[in-house]
């Protein structure tokens, strides 16, 4: 249990273009990547619901799209947007809101699914950050802990991290004095103003505490991580319920947590949860859908099998197809009898913490990523791990 937290404001950094998540971010900002029918940012804000009254978003790439999608309020949380004039580091992003933030606040990166448990966890100290145990810390900033069990600094992507390393998952608690520290750092060798240098300065001035993550943490740094995040979001939310406007064909079998909107399901289908099927979708006779999320107006041909798939709005998949562990962006087209079979990439070391909702095998299994408005020809066999644009 956590003590009551007085901090009611969060700052979310969401300005970057995120080239590593292309093609999913070719036409949208990363916070709008759809995960199980809802934008990445919506999942983050849901974890803040009831904890904060106000969220300040530092935006940049396609900022107007983000503001148009979310407006000024989300579930009672007031939203404000501030454009980072030049995207040149996380400390620079933080300084974008220096003139509008006066009180203690949480700071989050806008590209991870986080748990409200870990937001509450950092609230107990003036300066505090979450710490994530990881098997392979070479891709992370690693906490350097001093003899008083306080954070001394963050070491970026160490070649030989210590055993039992604690990584930086991007969950912080600060007050307005952090802005003075941000103004007093120098650019890094890559010419950016880094939050890691701010942490080191704060540690020297005041001390920075840490708490080990108790909840889930799922990054969205690549299209494959977006697929895992969508799979996690579906399992985490476990949507269920069948709309009164849905049409279910004779002989169709439904089991587990399944949500069906005003969709049409053909005869003799098998649908196994966690699965959601969006409004206006049409599922052909004899189709099998297992652990998958279908956004609005998706069309699935007769006899097609979907397993652990994430299907964007308006996508069309022909008859007798196989789609496993794949992400199809909006309006993707898959011809009849195409095969998007998956394989487990055993050399991968997943970093996501999914609270047991996804297995390591699921996190290592990849089918294909199909970009928005992209077509896969009838009869095609797409190699596992392919990204098609």
State the pLDDT confidence band at 289, using cuts at 50, 70 and 90: very high
Q: Where in the chain is the domain with CATH 2.160.10.10?
A: 223-388
Average pLDDT, the chain: 95
> What would the mean pLDDT of 57-81 be, rounded to a whole number?
97
> 110: exposed, middle or buried (C-beta count within 10 Å: 0-12, 13-18, 19+)?
buried
Count CB atoms within 10 A of the CB of residue 215: 18
Q: Give the model confidence (pLDDT) of 120-147 as tens digits.
A: 999 989 999 999 998 888 888 899 989 8
Query: Does residue 139 contact residue 155 with C-beta atoms inside 8 Å?
Result: no
pLDDT of residue 124: 85
Q: Is the pLDDT of residue 159 over 90?
A: no
Q: Is the pLDDT of residue 4 over 80?
A: no
Out of 58-62, 91-95, 136-140, 230-234, least confident range: 136-140
State the pLDDT confidence band at 371, using cuts at 50, 70 and 90: very high
pLDDT of residue 235: 96
- pTM for this predicted structure: 0.95
Q: How far is CA 184 from CA 90, 151, 198, 378, in A?
A: 14, 19, 8, 59
> 334: exposed, middle or buried (C-beta count within 10 Å: 0-12, 13-18, 19+)?
buried
pLDDT of residue 101: 95
C-alpha torsion 111→170→119→239, nearest 10 = 30
> What would the mean pLDDT of 95-100 be, rounded to a whole number?
94
pLDDT of residue 355: 93
Q: Is the pLDDT of residue 249 over 90?
A: yes
> What would the mean pLDDT of 233-257 be, rounded to a whole number?
95
- If we measure between CA atoms, which residue out of 174, 97, 144, 118 comes closest to residue 355? 118
pLDDT of residue 2: 60
- As given in the structure block, the two tokens for residue 8 are 């009611």
Question: ∠ CA(342), CA(19), CA(230), 5° rounding?
Answer: 40
Q: Where in the chain is the domain with CATH 3.90.550.10?
A: 9-219
Residue 107 — φ and ψ, nearest 5°?
-125, 130
> For the domain 223-388, what is the CATH code?
2.160.10.10
Q: Is the pLDDT of residue 280 over 70?
A: yes
Q: Give the model confidence (pLDDT) of 311-356 as tens digits.
A: 999 999 999 999 999 999 999 999 999 999 999 999 998 999 999 9
pLDDT of residue 164: 82
Structurally, at CATH architecture level, domain 9-219 sits in Alpha-Beta Complex (3.90)
Q: How far is CA 377 from CA 165, 223, 362, 383, in A?
A: 46, 22, 27, 14
SS3 at position 3: coil
Q: Is the pLDDT of residue 18 over 90?
A: no
Cα separation, 367 vs 311, whole angstroms: 13
pLDDT of residue 162: 79
State the pLDDT confidence band at 189, using cuts at 50, 70 and 90: confident
Sequence-separated (6 or more) residues with CB below 8 Å from residue 6: 104, 123
> What would the mean pLDDT of 159-166 be, rounded to a whole number?
84
Q: Is the pLDDT of residue 67 over 70?
A: yes
Q: Is the pLDDT of residue 1 over 60?
A: no
Out of 141-145, 224-228, 303-307, least confident range: 141-145
Count CB atoms within 10 A of the CB of residue 359: 11
pLDDT of residue 3: 61
Q: Is the pLDDT of residue 46 over 60?
A: yes
Cα separation, 25 vs 32, whole angstroms: 9
pLDDT of residue 188: 86
- If we measure between CA atoms, which residue out of 284, 285, 233 comes closest to residue 259? 233
Can you tell me which residue has the tokens 């969401």?
14
> 191: exposed, middle or buried (C-beta count within 10 Å: 0-12, 13-18, 19+)?
exposed
> What would the mean pLDDT of 375-382 be, rounded to a whole number?
98
């Amino acid at each position: 249990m956590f003590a009551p937290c007085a901090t009611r404001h969060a700052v979310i950094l969401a300005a970057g273009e995120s080239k590593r998540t292309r093609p999913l971010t070719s036409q949208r900002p990363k916070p709008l990547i759809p995960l199980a029918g809802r934008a990445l940012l919506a999942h983050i804000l849901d974890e803040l619901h009831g904890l904060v009254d106000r969220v300040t978003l530092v935006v940049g790439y396609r900022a107007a799209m983000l503001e148009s999608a979310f407006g000024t309020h989300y579930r009672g949380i007031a939203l404000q947007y501030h454009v980072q004039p030049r995207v040149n580091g996380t400390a620079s992003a933080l300084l974008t809101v220096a003139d509008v933030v006066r009180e203690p606040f949480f700071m989050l990166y806008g590209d991870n699914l986080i748990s409200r448990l870990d937001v509450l966890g950092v609230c107990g100290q003036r300066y505090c950050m979450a710490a994530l145990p990881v098997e392979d810390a070479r891709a992370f900033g690693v906490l350097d802990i001093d003899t008083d069990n306080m954070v001394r600094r963050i070491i970026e992507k160490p070649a030989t991290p210590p055993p039992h390393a604690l990584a930086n998952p991007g969950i912080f608690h600060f007050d307005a004095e952090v802005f003075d520290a941000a103004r007093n750092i120098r650019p890094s060798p890559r010419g950016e103003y880094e939050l890691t240098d701010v942490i080191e300065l704060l540690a020297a001035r005041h001390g920075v505490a840490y708490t080990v993550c108790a909840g889930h943490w799922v990054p969205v740094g690549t299209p494959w991580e977006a697929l895992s995040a969508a799979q996690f979001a579906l399992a985490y939310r476990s949507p269920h319920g069948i709309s009164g406007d849905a049409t279910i064909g004779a002989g169709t079998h439904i089991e587990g947590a399944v949500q069906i909107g005003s969709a049409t399901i053909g005869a003799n289908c098998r649908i196994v949860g966690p699965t959601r099927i969006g409004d206006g979708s049409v599922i052909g006779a004899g189709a099998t859908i297992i652990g998958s999320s279908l956004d609005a107006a998706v069309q699935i041909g007769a006899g097609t099998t979907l397993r652990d798939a994430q299907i964007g709005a308006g996508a069309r998949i022909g008859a007798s197809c196989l789609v496993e562990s794949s992400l199809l962006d909006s309006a993707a087209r898959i011809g009849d009898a195409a095969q998007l079979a998956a394989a487990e990439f055993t050399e991968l070391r997943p970093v996501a913490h999914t609270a047991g909702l996804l297995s390591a095998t699921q996190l290592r299994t990849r089918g294909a990523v199909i970009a928005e408005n992209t077509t896969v020809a009838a009869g095609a066999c797409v190699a596992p791990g392919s990204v098609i644009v």
